[in-house]
């Protein structure tokens, strides 16, 4: 359910046009529940002014499992989730059970759940698991061929120049699980990250980042490499104390490995990110933060 705005109006007026058969009580409940998206970003203010060309849409009712993990989509071959910050994607030496993978295995038992990529424990956002061997094999091949588009939002320390560019290096992990950058191809695996500056303040820059490779801690290590560590990321050089690591996977797109249908998923950028850049408008298009 979507509506493209044709003239200036408030969000509640747009919702009336989007669903004329619904009562005002129902429309306000959608806002309260966080189901209303404006250009892909969750909005709760009924009086929010909208401009021509913006898109208002209604998200499906949230379905949560253990660990506050939100199910965005599921079928016989895959499941897409929205991972909260602070939760591991898969088991590690220090945690075997409290992971997204672990919670999904409980939900789908006795079916198998196959991880096909990862998000760092400190990173929130949209991620993908396979629910069949056929789906797993196809998705892994798509990742290898860079056929799955992943976009991230980050708040980094300092002002980033120029406004867009590409970071490349070879990355390797040491015994303490810290990822380092090198120019020596014999010491690490190639890593490539595209970035675009979306906004900035005196202390921070809002970046959108696109991964071409999927190395562990890739974005965080690249941001440290260029002297602009992700806010709150003390492991990779952040100097100011923050409540979290400000990195969020906001967009995932791919063609379904079985039926070929175009799949797009969005995770609204957390409200705390906006507070890091005073005065930043809470307006995004579906694909870009």
Strand duo 63-65 + 78-83: pairing = unpaired
For the chain, strand residue ranges (E) read 2-4, 9-10, 36-38, 41-42, 49-50, 55-58, 63-65, 69-74, 78-83, 114-115, 124-130, 149-157, 164-173, 179-182, 189-200, 204-211, 247-255, 262-266
Indicate the angle between helix axes 24-32 and 11-18, nearest 10 degrees: 120
Length of the chain: 289
Catalytic residue, chosen from 39, 120, 137, 233, is 120
3-state secondary structure of 108: helix
Can 120 be counted among the known catalytic residues? yes
Q: What is the largest CA-CA distance in the chain?
A: 64
Tokens found for residue 107? 């939900």
Contact at 8 Å (CB) between 58 and 37?
Answer: yes
Provide the 8-state DSSP code for 124. Answer: E
**Cβ–Cβ contacts within 10 Å for residue 94, how many?**
6
Unique residue bearing structure tokens 């809002």: 206
The residues assigned a catalytic role are 120
């Amino acid at each position: 359910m979507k509506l493209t705005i044709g003239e200036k109006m408030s969000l509640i007026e747009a919702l009336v046009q989007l669903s004329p058969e619904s009562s005002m009580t129902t429309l306000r409940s959608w806002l309260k529940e966080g189901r209303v998206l404006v250009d892909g970003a969750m909005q709760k203010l009924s009086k929010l002014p909208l401009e021509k060309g913006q898109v208002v849409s209604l998200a499906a009712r949230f379905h949560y499992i253990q660990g506050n993990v939100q199910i965005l989509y599921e079928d016989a071959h895959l499941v897409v989730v929205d991972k909260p910050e602070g939760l591991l994607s898969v088991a590690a030496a220090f945690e075997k059970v409290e992971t997204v993978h672990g919670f999904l295995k409980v939900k789908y038992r006795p079916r198998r759940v196959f991880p096909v990529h990862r998000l760092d424990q400190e990173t929130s956002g949209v991620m993908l698991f396979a629910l069949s061997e056929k789906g797993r094999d196809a998705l892994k091949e798509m990742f290898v061929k860079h056929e799955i588009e992943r976009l991230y939002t980050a708040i980094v320390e300092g002002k980033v120049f120029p406004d867009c560019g590409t970071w490349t290096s070879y990355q390797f992990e040491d015994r303490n699980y810290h990822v380092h950058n090198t120019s020596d191809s014999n010491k690490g695996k190639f890593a490539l990250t595209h970035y675009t500056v979306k906004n900035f303040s005196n202390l921070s820059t809002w970046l959108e980042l696109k991964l071409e490779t999927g190395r562990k801690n890739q974005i965080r290590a690249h941001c440290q490499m260029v002297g602009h560590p992700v806010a709150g990321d003390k492991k990779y050089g952040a100097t100011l104390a923050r409540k979290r690591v400000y990195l969020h996977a906001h967009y995932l797109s791919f063609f379904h490995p079985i039926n070929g249908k175009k799949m797009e998923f969005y995770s609204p950028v957390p409200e705390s990110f906006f507070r890091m850049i005073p005065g930043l408008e809470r307006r995004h298009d579906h694909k870009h933060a």
